[in-house]
Amino acid sequence: MSEEPGPSEDGKSAAGRPAGAPAADGTGKPVAQGTFDSPNVEGATVDIAVMGLKAQGRLATLTVLLTPRMPADERRGRLVRIHGGPLTTSLIDPVNLKRYVPVADSTGATLQPSGMDTWLAHGNATALVYTFAAPPENVPAVNVQVGVWPTFRNIPVER
């Protein structure tokens, strides 16, 4: 079994660059949050918390927590049911006037949660992780569009 080389004793990576501190996306306090009605499940609301947008190299990872508040007769549902269709998530770059959509891997699979395979339960936060091309260095913040819900503005790009 091969291991990735970690930082050396002088704090540099195996490539000779300063090694960053290990981190987990989606932990800590939200950068922005709101509660919105479900467009598809009557009486349901969804708490959306944008946990952050972290750029590393040419990629950026967006972590969003969704917590549904469902009616008593429907305590669990697929993301696609609660949203009413595919949950299209994008970054809007107000500096370069671009919209970023999740990237695809070498098999063609988009690096975002599946609406059909992602189950949400009443009162339980579910982390949704999306991978985008990183906005250029001259972009300090973007707007984040999560599905049909209102846009979250001025989300900082952590570098």
The predicted structure's pLDDT at residue 123: 94
Q: How confident is the model at residue 2 (pLDDT cuts 50, 70, 90)?
A: very low
CB 49 within 8 A of CB 33: yes
Q: Which residues pair with 55 in a beta bridge?
A: 60
pLDDT of residue 76: 84
Residues 150-158: what's their mean pLDDT?
97
The full set of domain ranges for the chain reads 32-158
- pLDDT per residue as tens digits for the range 17-60: 555 555 556 678 999 999 999 999 999 999 999 999 999 999 99
CATH number of 32-158: 2.60.40
Cα–Cα distance list, 123 to 44, 67, 85, 139 (Å) = 11, 6, 21, 35
| pLDDT computed for residue 21 by the predictor | 56
pLDDT tens string 66-111: 999 999 888 888 888 888 888 899 999 999 999 999 999 999 999 9
- Token duo for residue 34: 């709101």
pLDDT at 16: 53
d(CA 55, CA 135): 8
Q: In this model, does residue 5 exceed pLDDT 50?
A: no
Question: Other CB atoms closer than 10 Å to residue 19's CB: what's the count?
Answer: 15
Full-model pTM? 0.83
Predicted confidence at residue 109, as pLDDT, reads 94
pLDDT value of residue 74:
86
Instruction: pLDDT band for 119, please (50, 70, 90 cuts).
Output: confident
